[in-house]
Amino acid sequence: MAILKVKDVSKRFGGLKALTNVNLDVEENSVHAIIGPNGAGKSTLLNCLVGKLMPDTGAVLFDNASVLGLEPFQINQMGISRVFQTPEIFGELTVIENMLIPIFAMRDGVFRMHAYETIANEKAIVEQAEAMLEEMNMADKREMHAASLSRGDKRRLEIGMCLSQNPRLLLLDEPTAGMARADTNNTIDLLKQIKDERDITIAIIEHDMHVVFSLAERITVLAQGTPLVEDTPENIRGNPKVREAYLGEAA
Amino acid sequence: MFGLNKKDTSLLIIVGLLTLLAPFILNPFPEGSAMAQFNAGYPDLMQRFVIFGIFAIGFNILFGLTGYLSFGHAAFLGVGSYSAVWMFKLLSYNIIPAIALSVVVAGVFSLLIGYVSLRRSGIYFSILTLAFAQMSFALAYSVLSNPKFNLTNGETGLQVYADDPQILQGANSPDLPHLFGLPMRATYTMDVGAWSFDFNAGYYFCAIVMMVVFYLSIRIFRSPFGMMLRAVKSNQQRMNYTGLNSKPYTLAAFVISGMYAGLAGGLMAAMDPLAGAERMQWTASGEVVLMTILGGTGTLIGPVLGAGFIKYFENIFSKINDSVLHSWFAFLPDGLEDAVVFVIHPFIGKGWHLTLGILFMLVVIYLPGGLVEGGQRLLNRIKRKKPKTDDATSGKTEPAE
């Protein structure tokens, strides 16, 4: 069953057609990669899925419910978490606080006035956050300010924050952009581990073919705002159209 | 204790002791001595210390936690004062209903202003709050003070007149603000040798209120709600994509800090049953910003220190005049004495704001974390000296962050 359905989505910015009639189905519990050359409309598409942009036409259904017109926090509460190209974390807060916030958000919803309670008394939530830090191998960095983490650790923390909410769909926007090779491989291993251990659907936008072919089960190639082809990694690799549009110039 | 950790409890106890013993601490110099002009232990000034402390504690909940810089908080202070005086006029001089109404009215007022202003962030938010405060000032100063509908009594300021209803005013109750019969002006003076200490009912009432709201602010800082407010300051994008709506969080912080300001305004009127429009002016809003930054934005104790610091120096510097300066520098040769007095003259008396400006610049440049950071650096330096390690120089080159 497709957990995310994109139907005939188009988006224009003035005279620029960023997306034209995009159709896309992301199967539940799969890893689906969206690739394409610069300017293909990958980020625009992603922004349409999370409530940042409103498409001009078309529909976006998550679990058969429309997400169009909803605020990002409402879409997140439905079960979609997003990882950004540059890690978006709470830099001034400690690592453990970064991990606590999404868990509070999951339990308490978009707003709760818990001004007279203490965090230390929320034992269940603190334990959950600590377990997630453990899983991310970051338990030793518990009290550090998130801004002082290395780039790779920031990415791990962000992914951990998203996972702590047990999302049904995890959206990754070029998760390894600007990373050193070692950090990239660590991130790939982490994502593989997540895929194996959890009931989760992952949609990933990526430039790095190494990352795409190590992770993806389905690949959609986007070119000039429309899906060129959708297939398995093996077939994409051999597809001459894709080579021409994308891989050829990269190789 | 009280649901606080050890560090916060000791902070609360220290602040409690300092405020309760303030009449002693602030009057270290014997009456009549040359240094007596540096004493600050008289009721009027001590009341201002704690009232502005409350104002700044509340402001810090908004500015320190969420980073939203409001330039219009004096409006809530003024609204609080007007509400309190109206309660004096209509009901009685008992301060409890007066202060209760100031908090409620300031809360409603801040809800309205906050709802509109928080549609924008950053500099636009600041400008919106400033605009609202100046509109409130204009309303209070002229618009709402005409013969047909006189809510604020304009330039003269709102005060209690003999023909006001005061329907609950008992025959024997004091004819000035009181707490169930205890007048706020009641002062007991204790003379110990050359020293004289004033214990004022109004001061102690304000001090107890400040302790309560200081405790509440610690609870807010340590609560999940406080963490969310810091998250707003840190990264709103991530907050939004984590399923949290930052708007109600900032609005709640805005209303809480508005209520703190209303409480401070109500207490001001309770100490002196007068309310004037100048309390709402933008200079008053700016002052609380200075207090918070000077003391240490986002720290628990900083705003209180900042408020005390500014109010103390305002008082001292305003009191010094040329003849005082001449008496200080009398030991210098005449020409030199005149020259020194000439140089210092612009910084004293009415020129005290010049001194405040310089102090503020020095703090912002050399101690971005305010007086609290200064205190921490001092403590670190003392601690570091003890083990006798060879890093004595590193104290000087310590980075600002």
pLDDT at B400: 41
More confident residue, A175 or B390: A175
> How many whole angstroms separate alpha carbon B301 and alpha carbon B286?
19
B235-276 pLDDT tens trace: 999 999 999 999 999 999 999 999 999 999 999 999 999 999
pLDDT at B162: 87
CB of B226 closer than 8 Å to CB of A115: yes
Average pLDDT (A158-176) is: 94
Other CB atoms closer than 10 Å to residue B320's CB: what's the count? 17
Q: Tell me the pLDDT of chain B averaged across its residues.
A: 90
pLDDT at A247: 54
> How many whole angstroms separate alpha carbon B179 and alpha carbon B200?
13
The answer for B 109-128 residues in CB contact with A (under 8 A) is none
Min Cα–Cα distance to chain A from B230, Å: 8
User: With 50 as the cut, is the pLDDT of residue B398 above it?
Assistant: no
Counting Cβ atoms within 10 Å, is residue B2 exposed (0-12), middle (13-18) or buried (19+)? exposed
Of A97, A175, A185, A191, nearest to A141 by C-alpha is A97
pLDDT at B328: 84
Query: B222-244: b or e for each residue (b if 16 or more CB lie within 10 Å)?
Result: bbbbbbbbbbbbbbbebbbbbbb
Q: Which of B3, B222, B231 comes nearest A90 by C-beta?
A: B231
DSSP B140: I
User: With 50 as the cut, is the pLDDT of residue B401 above it?
Assistant: no
All residues at 6 or more sequence positions from A116 whose CB lies less than 8 Å from its CB, including other chains? B216, B219, B220, B223
| Lookup: tokens for B343 | 């140089």
pLDDT at A242: 79
Chain B partners of A82 at a C-beta cutoff of 8 Å?
A: 241
User: With 90 as the cut, is the pLDDT of residue A157 above it?
Assistant: yes
The band of A249, judged by pLDDT with boundaries at 50, 70 and 90, is low
Angle between helical axes of B282-295 and B352-366 (0-180°, round to 10): 40
- The share of chain B scoring above pLDDT 90, in percent, equals 68
Of A186, A102, A202, nearest to A151 by C-alpha is A186
Average pLDDT (A78-88) is: 94
Min Cα–Cα distance to chain A from B119, Å: 15
A43-61 pLDDT tens trace: 899 999 999 999 999 999 9
- Whether the CB of A251 is below 8 Å from some CB of chain B: the reply is no
Chain B partners of A91 at a C-beta cutoff of 8 Å?
A: 234-235
Conformational region of residue B166, where left means phi above 0, alpha means psi within -120 to 50, and beta covers everything else:
left
pLDDT at B394: 38
ipTM above 0.90, yes or no: yes
pLDDT at A160: 95
> How many whole angstroms separate alpha carbon A231 and alpha carbon A237?
10
The band of A241, judged by pLDDT with boundaries at 50, 70 and 90, is confident
Which residue of chain A has the CA closest to B235?
A90
User: With 90 as the cut, is the pLDDT of residue B345 above it?
Assistant: no
- The share of chain A scoring above pLDDT 90, in percent, equals 70
Say which range, A61-75, B122-136, B295-309, B379-393, has the weakest mean pLDDT.
B379-393
Q: Which of B224, B235, B245 comes nearest A119 by C-beta?
A: B224
Of B255, B12, B222, nearest to B111 by C-alpha is B255
Amino acid at A189: D
Q: Which of B228, B230, B244 comes nearest A92 by C-beta?
A: B230
Q: Which fold has domain A2-79+167-250?
A: Rossmann fold (3.40.50)
B140-165 pLDDT tens trace: 998 888 888 889 988 889 999 988 88
Query: A26-42: b or e for each residue (b if 16 or more CB lie within 10 Å)?
Result: beeebbbbbbbbeebbb
Strands (E), B12-122: none
Q: Which fold has domain B6-300?
A: ABC transporter involved in vitamin B12 uptake, BtuC (1.10.3470)
> How many whole angstroms separate alpha carbon B126 and alpha carbon A102?
29
Average pLDDT (A114-141) is: 93
Min Cα–Cα distance to chain A from B221, Å: 8
User: With 80 as the cut, is the pLDDT of residue B2 above it?
Assistant: no
User: With 70 as the cut, is the pLDDT of residue B393 above it?
Assistant: no
Query: A77-115: b or e for each residue (b if 16 or more CB lie within 10 Å)?
Result: bebbbbbbeebbbbbbbbbbbbbbbbbbbbebebbbebb
- The share of chain B scoring above pLDDT 70, in percent, equals 96
pLDDT at B399: 41
The band of B323, judged by pLDDT with boundaries at 50, 70 and 90, is confident
pLDDT at B341: 87
Which residue of chain A has the CA closest to B3?
A118
Average pLDDT (A185-208) is: 91
Residue listed under structure tokens 């602040």: B15
CB of B117 closer than 8 Å to CB of B132: yes
Of B270, B111, B304, B84, nearest to B178 by C-alpha is B270
Comma-separated ranges of CATH 3.40.50.300 domains in chain A = 2-79+167-250
Alpha helices in chain A (DSSP H): 42-49, 72-78, 95-108, 123-135, 151-163, 181-197, 209-215, 233-238, 240-242, 248-250
Min Cα–Cα distance to chain A from B236, Å: 9
The band of A127, judged by pLDDT with boundaries at 50, 70 and 90, is very high
